[in-house]
Amino acid sequence: MNVVFVEPSFPHNQREFVRGLAAVGARVFGIGERPYEWLDEELKGWLTDYVQIGSVTDTPVLRQAVELVQSRVWVDLLEATIESHTLPTAEVREACGIPGTSRRTAWLCRDKPSMKQTLSAAGIPTAATVAATTSEEITDFVARIGYPVIIKPRSGAGAQGTTKINNDTELAAAIAALADDQVAVEEFVDGHEGFYDTLSIDGTAAHDFVCHYYPNVLEAMRTRWISPQFISTNEVDAVGAYAQVKELGHRVNEVLGIGTSATHLEWFIGDRGLRFSEVGCRPSGVGAWDLYAHGNEMDPYRAWAQAVVHGSSDQLTSRRFAAGMIALRPGSDGVITRYDGVDEIWDRYGEWIIDDHFPPPGTPTQPVEAGYMANAWMRLKHPSYETMRAMLDDVGRSVTVHAA
């Protein structure tokens, strides 16, 4: 089978999807923005051919590249695993007659107001939302819903560009600062936040994973002193534990027409019960799939490839370990000067540490809003979810990142 894969080398874990495709017998044709000579030898070995273009999100340019590959070989599949790549890939897929996720599905998974309006109409509990193009539309929505509200890009991912608005003063400042005339305005939903990831085949989860955020993403991405965590639980299959979350994921797949694809669904649970937040028809980011690999003693990248190429699954999830990561931030921006407490953590938990990342002294810091893996981080696993949480808390208390 011939598979065209969009952007095989950036970010770094993209190469793992190419590896998975090659491992299940596919011939992989890469389309990316980096020159071929920049690719490492291992990645080159997994690729049958490669086409460099200026931007993989430029739909006409991407289509030309795919048509070039089609002029040489029969193309069975066209795949992308990055949020911003999914819609242009779907548009090219339909234009070139290649099966896979439709443009409608990709659009609904990218455009937050359309996504939530579609799901709300199907009876799925979600926050009230509106797509706004003028300040009047924003203020009218706030007048109906009340504070607090969230303003975010219509096609944003995670908490990127997201602002919580609590009063008229903050609303006026947010409106004045808007650089994009297309935004989503949402009711703020309080409660504990997590995500439900699947590898779905024909709309049904062949593999699924549940993660919890501590604290919720918006707070984590706006508060420097917090060392935020997310943990993949190994209690996914406990009787009744996540039945509602799994049913929510199945219904969202059904309504949005997600067939064979990785999915990433964010949810909240609080006083008003379980509420849908948003979904992507693509894998989760920030190394979550690496946690799934270690926690379940499986290769999720190969499992994804087996699903999209052969429509089947040949792996089991052991659920042996909970696995989590913690972001470790400098107290101020500047350059890294030193770290305290790292050796002590390795002494205490060395057998449970998956890996870590501590940029060397002299490395410029990244801003808090750059994400969980922007600066230093550690990843651990343990058979007990509660012990896993306690270990990550201890890491957050014990390790200090100094910058000047």
pLDDT band at 135 (very low <50, low <70, confident <90, very high): confident
What does the pLDDT look like over 95-115, one tens digit per residue?
A: 999 999 999 999 999 988 899
Contact 39, 10 (CB under 8 A): no
Superfamily of segment(s) 192-403: ATP-grasp fold, B domain (3.30.470.20)
Phi, psi values for residue 354, rounded to 5°: -75, -55
Q: What confidence score (pLDDT) does residue 156 get? A: 58
User: pLDDT per residue over 187-233, tens digit each?
Assistant: 888 899 999 999 999 999 999 999 999 999 988 988 899 999 999 99
Please give the Cα distance from 287 to 290 (Å, whole number). 5
- Look up the pTM and report it: 0.91
Q: Residue 271's pLDDT is what?
A: 86
Q: Residue 180 pLDDT more than 60?
A: no
The Cα 13–Cα 300 span in angstroms is: 12
Task: Give percent of the chain with pLDDT exceeding 70.
Answer: 97
pLDDT at residue 305 in the model:
98
The pLDDT confidence band at residue 337, using thresholds 50, 70 and 90, is very high
Neighbours of 142 (CB within 10 A): 21
Mean pLDDT value across residues 291-297: 98
pLDDT of 143 strictly over 70: yes
Where is average pLDDT lowest: 35-39, 81-85, 156-160? 156-160
Identify the CATH number of the domain defined by range 2-100.
3.40.50.20
Cα–Cα–Cα angle for 389, 288, 160, rounded to 5 degrees = 100
Annotated domain spans of the chain: 2-100, 128-187, 192-403
Among 292, 286, 335, smallest CA distance to 160 is for: 286
- What is the CATH T-level fold of the domain 128-187, as seen in this structure? Dna Ligase; domain 1 (3.30.1490)
Mean pLDDT of the chain: 94
Least confident of 19-28, 122-131, 303-312: 122-131
- Tell me how far apart the alpha carbons of residues 245 and 81 are, in angstroms, rounded to a whole number: 23
pLDDT cut 90: percent of the chain above it: 79
**Across 67-76, average pLDDT:** 98
- Identify the band that residue 155 occupies on the pLDDT scale cut at 50, 70 and 90: low
Any idea what the Cα angle at residue 200 is, between residues 199 and 206, rounded to 5°? 75
What pLDDT does 160 receive? 59
Residue 161 pLDDT class (50, 70, 90 cuts): low
Distance CA 132, CA 137 (A): 6
| Least confidently predicted of 70-84, 152-166, 346-360 | 152-166
Q: Edge-to-edge, what's the strand order for the sheet holding 322-328? A: 273-280, 261-270, 192-201, 204-214, 229-232, 322-328, 376-382, 353-357
